[in-house]
Amino acid sequence: MNQILEKFSISRRGFLVTGAAVGGGFLLGVGTGSGEGPIPAALAHDGETHGKILLNARIAIDTDGLVTILVPRTEMGQGVYTSLPMLAAEELDVDIENVRAEAAPVGDEYVNYGAIMAEVKVADIPSTGGLMRFMIKNVMGMQMTGGSSSVRDGWNSMRFAGAAARHMLRAAGAKALGVDFSETTTEPGFVVHKGSNRRLSYGELADAAANGSPPSNPEFRDSANFRYIGTSVPRLDAEAKSTGTAEFGIDVKLPGMAIATVRNTPVFGGWVKAYDGRTVQAMPGVEKILEVPGGVAVVADTYWHAKTAADALELEFETDGNHTVSSDTIFAQYARDLDNDNGKDLHEEGDVAEALASADDILEAEYRVPFLAHATMEPQNCTALVTGEACEIWIGTQVPDFVRNSAAKLTGLSADRVQVHVKFLGGGFGRRLEVDVAKQAVTVAMAMKGRPVKLIWSREEDMQHDMYRPAALSRFRAILDGRGRPKAVEHRVALPPTFGQFAARNMGWFAGKMGGFGDAIEIGEALNWRYKTPDLLVNWVPSETPVPLGNWRSVSNSYAGFFNEVFLDELAAKAGTDPIDYRIALLGNDPRHQAVLEKLRDVSDWSAELGPGRGRGVAIHQCFESIVGEVAEVTVTDGQLKIDRVIAVVDCGLAINPGIVEQQSESGIIYGLTAALFGEISVDGGRVEQNNFPDYEMIRMANVPKIETHILESGTFLGGMGEPSTPPAAPALINAIFDATGVRHRTLPLSNAEGLSV
């Protein structure tokens, strides 16, 4: 464990924070930063730690032995309120039935290094040097839930917390029993003397443990003795969500609370030019009308009164000239830029230009994907209370530190005067990495000083004022050699940068300037052509649009997987080769991918005959350290598409909780199929045309195919599972339709395809 401390540059003084008594215990800083400051005082938030003894920044125990795990990642359906407590409980040696999960406060000790360094293993961060560590924490430091990184980041920190707490309890138990530390062990929830079997419960010992010395080298449990890691522990949040007692952001109720809603500027980049509040001031329940960032808010006693008044409000918006922008003009711009812009070379091998210039049989293909909304089931909302001395915020967010920092800037308060209560999220998918609604709520709360205000966006505002997945235009050119394998592949893609926008909005001036670098890395990794090809060029043409962009589930992988895997299938068809055999042959230096494909062929009955109008399609993609391969089976009868089955094989290194891996696999597949079938945000007049779910269709329960997930553990570094099953879904579907009909679709969504009914 000293090696871990050295790797993460944690001094003993920084690691051990003694003397910070809370509820009779003390705080032990378990983190991956410098650790030079104390654990956040917000650990005692809301009095929720009353009666609990905090053994460290992630673990508290009450006198009855109930263990509370402070979870530093937001629960938005992906299971972190189970998987992360499992890691801590494994090392602490407690029964999972005696464990509850609670949101951690905002604090430097909870920075998510796994998300920040998405393509660098957490344990390798120190090799980037002290300057990079300083930049990560102090410039880019994020308590973020995203990038399929929660378990990857928590693998060390959560287990470390459990092991350290267990050591302290053993030490306290040895002293109480009058024996040497080496004579003690633990059984779930107890410290036991090996010789006499005398035992003391963790609840009895927690207070005494607070007076001992935390370990510099706690012992980790042997993996052979794991009770929970690798098993499908039932979700700890299941009961609350099943009984309706779980509190989401939109559920928050406070005494004297007012309700607000907004009308945001409809045209991208526009602003409020004028409004006349007198027209609605006298309407029932209306209390205040004011301008907020991006629009105008109406405050009332109920949501209905606020919404009715907001709809009646006379508003005039400036368009900043973007009223001429449409989906057609954007794709025309992409095409011009691909024709005229050299772009940025992301991957290059050999000489593609020379190979293509001498070829007379070139396969060319052009693919299109539209803008996409996140369409979270819970609309954007935030509750805020601002007094003269402090600000409190209740919100479902993926970035509580961004929320805190933006509120501090708006109110002029120091960050330690801003308290963020993180609630369950009714869907995140990257949308709640933004703080736009929090800024509006705090602005309203400042005008209602001393009174809490809950701001709720209507579904229509949510749909039309998202931070969208970018539309993209892809062009491939390729030639095959005498064996039918790709000799040269050129792939050029036009789309606007995403990370740069996100960084500029949320991470400050410096991060915004670095955004182009981040975009090239993120897009380049997603577009990586993994198949053996002597001459290769992957090129990105940044083509700016006024459409606000954000991180959508799997980010660039969502379109990159579609482009690469459909075109690879086209090459296989041209070569007259089985699509799985073709992929395996071209991945000769990649045994993990080959193993996934071999397993997929076996579990999908790939070679079995299908009836008329039926087809199978395959796709495989790697992102967030995980590889997911999928086979889709479809039936097409008189143009009517039915997705019969999707089989997935997942290699995420080690499945901490196989049940949650399966859930996330299914969730990502459904999300990907929904986008492939229906997902489209179209633009006309500089604004979004879709308003609500009737305009932005979702796959319905009755049409969800049978989904099977098979886990193939490679023993490699942990991979994430929140996103990796989304990218292969669309190409597997497209390739299956081709197998069934002989028709190749290159534009999404399929609801726009001629001759096909979805």
d(CA 368, CA 363): 17
Give tens-digit pLDDT for 16-61: 222 222 222 223 333 333 222 233 444 543 334 557 899 999 999 9
- The token pair that represents 185 in the structure block: 């062990």
Whether the per-residue pLDDT at 11 is higher than 60: the answer is: no
Check if the beta carbon of residue 27 is closer than 8 Å to that of residue 42. no
Distances (CA, A) of 200 to 92, 165, 220, 405, 431: 15, 15, 21, 44, 47
Q: Do 222 and 131 belong to one domain?
A: yes
Q: What is the mean pLDDT of the chain?
A: 90
Check if the beta carbon of residue 750 is closer than 8 Å to that of residue 732. no
Residue in 685, 681, 683 with CA at minimum distance from that of residue 322: 685
Q: Do 187 and 267 belong to one domain?
A: no
Q: Reduced to 3 states, what is the DSSP secondary structure of residue 609?
A: coil
Q: Reduced to 3 states, what is the DSSP secondary structure of residue 177?
A: helix
Residue 141, pLDDT score: 65
Q: Do 532 and 652 belong to one domain?
A: yes
Count the Cβ atoms, other than its own, within 10 Å of residue 334: 23
Q: Do 666 and 519 belong to one domain?
A: yes
Question: Does 463 reside within a domain?
Answer: no
Could you tell me whether strands 614-623 and 683-684 are parallel, antiparallel, or unpaired per DSSP bridges?
Answer: unpaired
Tokens 């593609």 belong to 352
Q: Do 567 and 439 belong to one domain?
A: no
Number of domains in the chain: 3
What is the four-CA torsion angle of 314, 319, 323, 325, rounded to 10 degrees? -130
Q: Do 183 and 276 belong to one domain?
A: no
Q: What is the pTM of this model?
A: 0.92
Q: Do 625 and 572 belong to one domain?
A: yes
Tokens 């996140």 belong to 374
Question: Does 757 reside within a domain?
Answer: no
Domain of residue 262 covers: 249-318+380-456
Give tens-digit pLDDT for 360-401: 999 999 999 999 999 999 999 999 999 989 999 999 999 999
Greater model confidence, 515 or 714: 714
Question: Does 180 reside within a domain?
Answer: yes
C-alpha 191 chain-centroid distance? 38
Q: What percentage of the chain exceeds 70 in pLDDT?
A: 89
Contacts of 704 (CB under 8 A, 6+ apart): 670
Question: Does 758 reside within a domain?
Answer: no
Question: Does 461 reside within a domain?
Answer: no
Buried b (16+ CB within 10 A) or exposed e, 184-201: bebeebbbbbeeeebbbb
Residue in 699, 683, 353 with CA at minimum distance from that of residue 537: 353
Check if the beta carbon of residue 743 is closer than 8 Å to that of residue 679. no
Q: Do 268 and 119 belong to one domain?
A: no
Local confidence band at 214 (pLDDT 50, 70, 90 cut-offs) = confident
| Residues 16, 17, 21, 26, CA torsion sign | negative
Could you tell me whether strands 486-495 and 535-542 are parallel, antiparallel, or unpaired per DSSP bridges?
Answer: parallel
Q: DSSP secondary-structure letter at 77?
A: S
Residue 139, pLDDT score: 52
Q: DSSP secondary-structure letter at 259?
A: E
Q: What is the DSSP string of 518-556?
A: HHHHHHHHHT---S--SEEEEEEEE---SS-B---TTTT
Domain boundary among 405, 432, 456: 456
Whether the per-residue pLDDT at 349 is higher than 80: the answer is: yes
Q: DSSP secondary-structure letter at 44?
A: G
d(CA 673, CA 699): 8
Question: Does 132 reside within a domain?
Answer: yes
CATH code (residue 297): 3.30.365.10
Question: Does 654 reside within a domain?
Answer: yes
Question: Does 437 reside within a domain?
Answer: yes
Contacts of 15 (CB under 8 A, 6+ apart): 5, 28, 29, 30, 35, 214, 216
Q: Do 595 and 617 belong to one domain?
A: yes
Domain boundary among 456, 483, 503: 456
Q: Do 530 and 649 belong to one domain?
A: yes
Whether the per-residue pLDDT at 198 is higher than 80: the answer is: yes
Count the Cβ atoms, other than its own, within 10 Å of residue 410: 21
Q: Do 474 and 446 belong to one domain?
A: no
Give tens-digit pLDDT for 222-243: 999 999 999 999 999 999 999 9
Give tens-digit pLDDT for 581-631: 999 999 999 999 999 999 999 999 999 999 999 999 999 999 999 999 999
d(CA 108, CA 126): 17
Q: What is the 3-state secondary structure (H, E, C) of 186-210?
A: EECCEEEECCCCCEEEHHHHHHHHC
Taking residues 274-282, what's their average pLDDT? 93
Q: Do 396 and 513 belong to one domain?
A: no
